[in-house]
Amino acid sequence: MSISVDLVIEQGVTCPIGEEDVRDVCELVLREEAIERPCFVSVTVVEDGRIREINREWRGQDRSTDVVSLECERPDDPELAEGEPCELGDIVLAPDYIERQAASFGSTPADEFRLLLVHGLLHLLGYDHLEDEEAEEMERREDELVALLHTEGAVRRVKFTRHTGDDAP
């Protein structure tokens, strides 16, 4: 398995984790999800106003949010030739929003960012949280993957995914 991560940080925005950490998180998720196909993923770090525009355009939600995942291809797509790289898609994260959210969950901005990067990758791999059962499965998997990251703040488990409500922190 190999992954190519294209990290873009919007001018004036500070990412709470480094480029190597972003890549490590992506590698861990793909390894633990047993993805053997070479993959590409784009991770873009933006300000709240920009993620609101993206959320409105792609999800029909006119509000800021923490993360938006835009899927392109899945590694198990039968249209891809054997060994052909997979363009997973784009993960867009808003660190200012994430920082406010981290405070409300008793987490650190860096750990919350890692959790949401895991969350975004799981979306690109087909996980979802529209129904309670899906949310429980996705959050269980997030918990397992975050535990493997060995972060100091250890993001706390919550009953259902943090991404079902419409309330901004």
pTM, rounded to two decimals? 0.88
* Contact (CB, 8 A) for 62 and 102: no
pLDDT computed for residue 119 by the predictor: 94
Domain positions in the chain: 3-149
70 three-state secondary structure: strand
Q: What is the DSSP string of 78-123?
A: TTSPTT--EEEEEEEE-HHHHHHHHHHHT--HHHHHHHHHHHHHHH
Q: What is the mean pLDDT of residues 35-56?
A: 96
pLDDT computed for residue 51 by the predictor: 96
In which band, very low, low, confident or very high, does the pLDDT at 162 lie, cut at 50, 70 and 90? low
* Residues whose CB falls within 8 Å of the CB of residue 24, separated by 6 or more in sequence, listed in order: none
What is the Cα–Cα distance from 140 to 95, expressed in whole angstroms? Answer: 23
On the question of pLDDT at 53 being above 60, the answer is: yes
* Contact (CB, 8 A) for 160 and 136: yes
pLDDT digits (tens, 9 = 90+) for 79-100: 999 888 999 999 999 999 999 9
pLDDT computed for residue 1 by the predictor: 66
- Give the right CATH number for 3-149 from 3.40.390.30, 3.40.630.30, 3.30.230.10, 3.40.570.10: 3.40.390.30
pLDDT computed for residue 16 by the predictor: 95
pLDDT computed for residue 169 by the predictor: 43
On the question of pLDDT at 66 being above 70, the answer is: yes
